[in-house]
Amino acid sequence: MKDILPLKRLFINTELKTNALIALSSSNTHYIINVLRMRGGENISIFNGKQGEWKGCIKSLTKKKAIIKIGNQIKEQKDEELINIIYTPIKGQRHYYLIEKITELGVNNIFPIFTDHSVIKKVNFKKINSCLISAAQQSGRLSIPEFHQPQYLNNFINSWDSKKNIIFCDESKADLNNNNFLSKIGNKNNLNTILIGPEGGFSKKEKNYLIKKKFIISISLGNRILRSDTAAIFALSFFLKK
């Protein structure tokens, strides 16, 4: 039974090649000891977001230092379906829950924006990066999403390529027509970006600004007002059905 269990996974930002010996950082050493509960001599899966997934073996392990020997490649890196999400950072632990779940669901690019109703005006990049890596390790994906620098809504939209459509999840639309929404997506490859509003919604000025843009497609997620994290997960489910 032990042999058929999936290998525990670790992301490291280092080039991978067969027989290479890699000294882990103190944080990764702490992770394999205290989170993965591993010991010297055990096998572990290693990936760096660029070269696929490799089998590794813990050659030595102390409380402060671990050395991994890289074995053979077990998965090739493949191109992923492009999915972008534009969202407004939210308060507390729900922000990291949102980051975790959209990483598990396969988002490639995360664009934080500030709006008139934004409560959070800065983000903790270190904690977010840790959350991205942890979610990728847990979910089995081979890449880490790119978390971009926050921008104010108008600046972001003005700099966006107008040939690439944005699906705007508008809470003011009360009707939900899944068939209509899916028909809008169809096989159009440039419909791969979701815009989620802030807690409290966009201001009237912002909403008028957005709906005037021809490349922004406004859709409904139903007759209930969803939390930002719930709306993001719900909207992403449509992409997974494409």
Contact 47, 53 (CB under 8 A): yes
Q: Do 48 and 96 fall within a single domain?
A: no
pLDDT for residue 1 = 36
Closest among 47, 43, 49, 51 to 69, alpha carbons compared: 43
Over residues 79-124, the pLDDT tens digits come to 888 899 999 998 889 999 999 999 999 999 999 999 988 888 889 9
The CA-atom distances, in angstroms, between 71 and each of 41, 58, 59, 128, 215 are 13, 11, 12, 30, 47
Q: Do 94 and 59 fall within a single domain?
A: no
Last residue of a domain, one of 45, 75, 105: 75
Q: How confident is the model at residue 57 (pLDDT cuts 50, 70, 90)?
A: very high
Q: How confident is the model at residue 50 (pLDDT cuts 50, 70, 90)?
A: very high
Euclidean distance between CA atoms 220 and 169, whole angstroms: 6
Q: Tokens for 82?
A: 């492009």
| CATH number for 40 | 2.40.240.20
The answer to whether residue 235 scores a pLDDT higher than 90 is no
Question: On the CB side of 28, how many CA atoms lie within 13 Å of its CA?
Answer: 21
Q: Do 27 and 94 fall within a single domain?
A: no
Q: Do 12 and 105 fall within a single domain?
A: no
- Collapsing DSSP states into helix, strand and coil, what is residue 229? helix
Average pLDDT over residues 152-163: 94
Q: Do 196 and 100 fall within a single domain?
A: yes
Q: Do 110 and 198 fall within a single domain?
A: yes
E strand or H helix that includes residue 23? strand 21-23
Mean pLDDT of the chain: 86
Euclidean distance between CA atoms 227 and 177, whole angstroms: 20
pLDDT for residue 189 = 56
pLDDT for residue 226 = 75
Q: Do 19 and 121 fall within a single domain?
A: no
pLDDT for residue 201 = 83
Q: Domain range holding 46?
A: 2-75
The reported pTM is 0.86
Residue type, 163: K
Average pLDDT over residues 66-86: 92
- Domains in the chain, number: 2
pLDDT for residue 76 = 94
pLDDT for residue 2 = 42
The answer to whether residue 188 scores a pLDDT higher than 60 is no
The answer to whether residue 54 scores a pLDDT higher than 70 is yes
Euclidean distance between CA atoms 173 and 223, whole angstroms: 7
Over residues 12-36, the pLDDT tens digits come to 999 999 999 999 999 999 999 999 9
Average pLDDT over residues 122-150: 94
Q: Do 104 and 217 fall within a single domain?
A: yes
Residue environment code for 175-187, b if the CB has 16+ CB neighbours within 10 A, otherwise e: eeeeeebeeebee
The answer to whether residue 187 scores a pLDDT higher than 60 is no
Euclidean distance between CA atoms 4 and 178, whole angstroms: 40
Euclidean distance between CA atoms 38 and 121, whole angstroms: 39
Over residues 194-229, the pLDDT tens digits come to 999 888 788 899 999 998 998 998 887 767 777 888
Last residue of a domain, one of 33, 49, 75: 75
Q: What are phi and psi of 186, to 5 degrees?
A: 45, -135
* Pairing outcome for strands 151-152 and 109-114: parallel
Give the number of other Cβ atoms within 10 Å of residue 17's Cβ.
11
pLDDT for residue 4 = 46
pLDDT for residue 184 = 52
The answer to whether residue 72 scores a pLDDT higher than 80 is yes
Residue 169 CA to its chain's centroid (Å): 18
Q: Do 45 and 68 fall within a single domain?
A: yes
Contact 210, 157 (CB under 8 A): yes
Euclidean distance between CA atoms 53 and 77, whole angstroms: 7
pLDDT for residue 241 = 57
